[in-house]
Structure 1
């Protein structure tokens, strides 16, 4: 006997009698149009034994290719960073296995402390005074920031750089319908946000101006200049939002120091694996003026009646705690376990380790940029500074076919930009670098790309030697 038993036939008959219908079918017929009801049974196969299910699932899993099955240069928002064993060990500690919702602080100290320490780390990382306990992931964090801006100033227009992640742009377009807002996308110029178009798009009806740093093409934006220009046009009521790759904050100026009001981002790179696209977490930090409009929860530190240190929920602006029209969030949970992995990872790196990692990425990305553009037929998509990702152009090349060719050799060369920007960058390739990608692997990628490009051009020749002495 389990604690969660199904309703018996007698239970169902009693409930149906209480609502005045003879069967479940009759109940559904009163609620669902006849055209939507199926008369025939679902085409489901017979059940299988546990052993058979295991074999079937193993066969399905074998059809996948993971980042451990190939050398991957694929990024575009999710990256193949090393996750130390320390992460899993600490995630399983009993101190953190407290109840799902920490409404009772006396039995939720582990979870509440995780939130508090995580908030502290994110505030230090972003140089902004307040952070919430996390949200679902990066794009929804940007959407929540846009809603915060609408609540703050009541304005209608959302101005966002075309350098934002395509998923972010899609999220904003979707949520803007509910917000009663209009999304205006500012084009790029040589891979970065066009400053003239940016200033021209912002007016006194603009609620928020949104940038991504680095942007989707890997370019480092001049956030300070763009933020100042936005404030000059939109006034003090304008809310500037920066969507950040947290690893790059090891060497880039933090958002709090360049005028950004709200900093959000995708936290997958902080101790979270590439688990088939998720789960991960989104971070959300802001200036103190926006404290009471931030989504989700904020944990605080206090002392109990005996003077001992303790933790409590300080703010929770969710819909089930206050009237719906005054709620600033409909997110019903934070990604607490993933956020715990994030704060453990930041603690593992430390104040010196994060800059060292970011510098390592920048050096290897520079090497990859130089090496790959030495290949005949490969050129830079833009000339902006980069940290961990670079965009290439391969004129006249079927890039998706090239990607498939390189994958046959156990390497994934990156994202074919025809998948995300078919009109703007049909011949583009976005290549990501992590600390797991070595110089030898970059050189091998150059060999494979050179051979693939030569094969498509019909030359039939093998790789030549580029200006660096590597295969080109």
Structure 2
């Protein structure tokens, strides 16, 4: 905790400079009934530093850490091994900032890192251009929808049933303030929730079709078929990827016809971190759309002496250009998380990413085979990468809580993701990564078998 050594004289001088009578005057817009009129109930008036540290350690021990138990959670936040090199590099003084520099050309190291990051994302997604990152996958997804509206001059967005419900929630919330109409009508497990149902919903008013790859249940949709149908109607295809490791095994969305590819980059280099900060990835297939792209772009150039250099090439946010011409009000990129992603990706390389993906898929196949032998449990997926859905005749939410009490984080209940779809109450999304062991898988299978017997 920082110590601010301001004296009463210092504070009086600062208040005089800004023309305020007191510190309270700075909060005059806050209603008086919202002010505290005394100490917070239950908190001691003071405690020593050691006592506070001891108290916080006791609180932290109530957590069930991912590394201390069989862990099968996913759905957009994945536990992967992050090499120690990543943490070492991102804590160097030259890099330890989450912000893009406002005098960018003097920060050549940061700009070069972002340039390399953009190159990695573009190659990963099979696209021509990637930006210097965004807040997270859900907001990147929304920005892609708005970008499609600008390009097509249409406002109707068709979301596939398998799009992460949290991403859908962000889109529908933000759509209240725009002209966009978000169509999310098809339940995720309805008989017609596949490619045919998506294609049937595309019309001449559709600006874009949004498809998750792999989807929220772990299924792998046919992007090429959906892209062809969207393009026939003059719409764009937005592919959403929440697990970038999957692209070490699956064909890149941009190579399958996706016009905009967005996603969450947390799985590479960032770690779970209690839910954030995370990393939004954003790339486009057609360079002609670059000026409709949100966020920032770093570029490579040559200086007056003929030396290689890096610059902030494009920044079309409302702080930099006329508000009505801005493509986004994004105020920063996730610079530190982008650095972590880039360092980890550099350590992996193409071959390493493919090997990591193969290990993930092989372990997930072993888990699906083993869970498929549990009486009363059915594996839903025919295809998957490292997460798949199982169903059974019991409330999965309660089962997840029961297994957590036994030290096993079994997965994410579909009832939690889709609280309004009663038919999904017995569904469980199971994620298996390279951090899962065969002993973990066996422990999960045995626990499920005991709970369902």
Superposed pair shares fold, TM > 0.5: yes
Decide whether the 8 Å contact of 1:75 with 1:414 is kept in 2.
yes
1:176-187 mapped onto 2 (5 Å cutoff): 176-187=175-186
Displacement, 1:284?
A: 0.4
* 164 and 10 in structure 1: CA distance in 2 versus 1, 3 angstrom threshold: same
Decide whether the 8 Å contact of 1:192 with 1:219 is kept in 2.
no
In the other structure, the counterpart of 1:440 is: 439
C-alpha separation in 2, matches of 1:355 and 1:6: 61
Alignment counterpart, residue 398 of structure 1, candidates 392, 395, 400: 395
1:195-210 mapped onto 2 (5 Å cutoff): 195-210=195-210
Decide whether the 8 Å contact of 1:134 with 1:284 is kept in 2.
yes
In the other structure, the counterpart of 1:460 is: none
In the other structure, the counterpart of 2:74 is: 75
Match of 1:120, SS state, is helix
Displacement, 1:367?
A: 1.5
In the other structure, the counterpart of 2:386 is: 388
1:4-15 mapped onto 2 (5 Å cutoff): 10-11=12-13, 14=16
C-alpha separation in 1, matches of 2:25 and 2:300: 55
Match of 2:353, SS state, is helix
Displacement, 1:3?
A: 8.1
* 186 and 346 in structure 1: CA distance in 2 versus 1, 3 angstrom threshold: farther
* 379 and 55 in structure 1: CA distance in 2 versus 1, 3 angstrom threshold: same
C-alpha separation in 1, matches of 2:76 and 2:224: 23
Task: Report the TM-score, using the length of structure 1 for normalisation.
Answer: 0.87
Decide whether the 8 Å contact of 2:147 with 2:327 is kept in 1.
yes
* 25 and 299 in structure 1: CA distance in 2 versus 1, 3 angstrom threshold: closer
Cα deviation, 1:12-57, whole Å, max 9, x if unaligned, reads 87579x57xx77768866x4566x5558335363133322221222
* 25 and 442 in structure 1: CA distance in 2 versus 1, 3 angstrom threshold: closer
In the other structure, the counterpart of 1:414 is: 411
C-alpha separation in 1, matches of 2:435 and 2:284: 32
Decide whether the 8 Å contact of 1:220 with 1:384 is kept in 2.
no
Cα deviation, 1:403-424, whole Å, max 9, x if unaligned, reads 2332233221111111112324
Decide whether the 8 Å contact of 1:191 with 1:384 is kept in 2.
no
Displacement, 1:378?
A: 0.3
Match of 1:243, SS state, is strand
1:40-79 mapped onto 2 (5 Å cutoff): 40-41=37-38, 43=40, 45=43, 46-79=45-78
In terms of Rg, which structure is larger? Answer: 1
In the other structure, the counterpart of 2:262 is: 264
Moved more, 129-138 or 403-412: 403-412
Structure 1: where are the runs of 5+ without partners? 455-472
C-alpha separation in 1, matches of 2:270 and 2:30: 42
1:38-437 mapped onto 2 (5 Å cutoff): 38=35, 40-41=37-38, 43=40, 45=43, 46-97=45-96, 100-187=99-186, 188=188, 193-232=193-232, 234-235=233-234, 238-244=235-241, 245-287=243-285, 288-380=287-379, 382-395=380-393, 397-422=394-419, 423=421, 424-437=423-436
Displacement, 1:116?
A: 0.3
Task: Report the TM-score, using the length of structure 2 for normalisation.
Answer: 0.91
C-alpha separation in 1, matches of 2:84 and 2:138: 28
Displacement, 1:83?
A: 0.6
C-alpha separation in 2, matches of 1:359 and 1:147: 35
Displacement, 1:79?
A: 1.1
Higher relative contact order (CA 8 A, sep 6+): 2
C-alpha separation in 2, matches of 1:315 and 1:394: 51
Moved more, 435-444 or 312-321: 435-444
C-alpha separation in 1, matches of 2:304 and 2:442: 63
Displacement, 1:399?
A: 2.0
Cα deviation, 1:55-93, whole Å, max 9, x if unaligned, reads 222222122111012110111111111111111122133
Match of 1:90, SS state, is helix
Displacement, 1:99?
A: 9.4
Displacement, 1:270?
A: 0.6
